[in-house]
Amino acid sequence: MRRDRTGEGRTPARGEGRREFLRCAAGIAGVAAAAGLGGEAHAAGAGVPAAGLRAGPPVPSDRIPFHGRHQAGIVTPQQLFAAFLAFDVQAENPVQLTGLFKKITERARVLVSGELPGDEAPAADRPGPDSLSITLGVGASLFDDRFGLTAQRPRHLKPMPAFPDDRLVPSRSHGDLSLQICAQHRDAVVRVMRDLARETSGLMRLRWRADGFLNPSGASGTPRDFLGFKQGIADPAFSSAAERDRLLWVTPPCGEPDWAVGGSYQVLRLIRFHIEAWDRLPVTAQERIFGRHKASGAPLGGRAETEVPDFRDDPKGARTPLNSHIRLADPRTPATADSLFLRRNYSYDGGFDTDGRMDLGLVFCGYQQNVERQFAAVQQRLEHEPLAEYVTPVGGGYFFALPGVRTGDDWFGSDLLHKG
């Protein structure tokens, strides 16, 4: 599709949105720092597959079980608010690192229960569990020579590369640890950050942070991202345990270290939208970029968002452009069936940058069994897609979400650190 319209509704020249963004690169470090983040947007130039697997609607305020084979916060239905934090570990030896993991476990176990020791507020004023989940991941840098863990690094865990459409800022990328904190209210998320900052002082230092929210659903029931398209139009095939074992969890046949079984690879991406350039595009051009109707969410030529696009009768892209987002992200062929993954995305609102442009975007969060087979393969198909002119990944990282804490005597990373 050639976008060369002129006048009030003109389409910006190729790269105009990105050039505007790069001129204010000095302000990038603040993207998502005071942010808010939302659902499962189609920012797939940012690496979001159109037919990914979604986590479901928000859950009521309740207690999310802490113990189990897998961590909470992965297949848990999405809560309304989230914070994603990456840390550099300051522990000086394996003993201190073990102490850090045990402390995070101890505090997480208490915090998700909603029963805070020493809380003097009247019972009716206490926050309660608030559907709180705390998910801990480890980055590739934790497996250097500091703690004797090099041989235990998950096979596909490495620093997230800069893909061709990225502009990654080092201070907003990577980290030894990741924490995903989700709850139904913003104050519950802040309460966890405050508690962990106090209890782990001196053992880890914040590297970057992104805060997010789910945009409210419209009358049709599906929320929209800040680009105006419906979020979460995806194949909800994750209800099957077999599908989870095929696409989400590390299992023994994966050839990973024994301690990693039950964990999952986590990809975080901080993605800024060039909203001013996007808003100047005619709706028809936006729809051809995505491959969906903006109003209904249906694939082009369809009527309902739940319709599954079928590209077999459109080999030349007359209906759905060959370079549209949904067609590149998920061609819906047998060869690409194993590249689906679970998404837990949140929108962010970072206010305005120093040039007066709105800092809106997405914190993309994806979970999968194999980051190379899944996220990286999708990202490679999306290189230089038309949407990439209007979104720019500026940070994030690859992490490995640890297996769950199985009992009251267990702790995060117990098998990893016993083997290290």
pLDDT, one tens digit per residue, over 296-330 is 999 999 999 888 898 999 999 999 999 999 999 99
Calculate what percentage of the chain has a pLDDT beyond 70.
Answer: 80
Sign of torsion, CA 40 41 43 44? positive
Dist. CA 315–CA 313, nearest whole Å: 6
Q: Is residue 258 part of a domain?
A: yes
The region of weakest confidence among 12-16, 48-52, 93-97, 220-224 is 48-52
Q: Is residue 12 part of a domain?
A: no
For residue 40, is pLDDT > 90?
no
pTM of the model: 0.86
Q: Is residue 19 part of a domain?
A: no
> Quick one: DSSP state of residue 275?
H
> Where is pLDDT greater, at 167 or 6?
167
For residue 55, is pLDDT > 60?
no
- Contact between 327 and 311 under an 8 Å Cβ cutoff? The reply is yes
Q: Is residue 344 part of a domain?
A: yes
Maximum alpha-carbon separation in the chain: 67
Q: Is residue 9 part of a domain?
A: no
Residue 216: pLDDT band with limits 50, 70, 90: confident
Q: Is residue 8 part of a domain?
A: no
Q: Is residue 15 part of a domain?
A: no
Across the chain, mean pLDDT equals: 85
- In order, the DSSP letters of 299-321 are BTT-S-TTPPP--TT-TT-SSS-
Contacts of residues 73-78 at CB distance under 8 Å and 24 or more positions apart, as own/partner, are: 73/133, 73/134, 73/135, 73/180, 73/182, 73/344, 74/135, 74/248, 74/264, 74/342, 74/344, 74/367, 74/401, 75/238, 75/244, 75/248, 75/342, 76/131, 76/133, 76/182, 78/39, 78/182, 78/214, 78/344
Number of compact structural domains in the chain: 1
Q: What pLDDT score was predicted for residue 187?
A: 93
Dist. CA 17–CA 3, nearest whole Å: 13
For residue 2, is pLDDT > 50?
no
Q: Is residue 25 part of a domain?
A: no
- Provide the domain limits for residue 275: 32-419
Highest mean pLDDT among 57-66, 161-170, 229-238: 161-170
- pLDDT tens figures, 253-268: 999 999 999 999 999 9
3-state secondary structure of 247: helix
- Contact between 53 and 238 under an 8 Å Cβ cutoff? The reply is yes
Dist. CA 115–CA 125, nearest whole Å: 12
Dist. CA 352–CA 102, nearest whole Å: 40
For residue 385, is pLDDT > 50?
yes
Q: Which residues, including other chains, have CB under 8 Å from residue 10's CB and lie 6 or more apart?
A: 280
Residue 163: pLDDT band with limits 50, 70, 90: very high
Residue 115: pLDDT band with limits 50, 70, 90: confident
Dist. CA 342–CA 327, nearest whole Å: 18
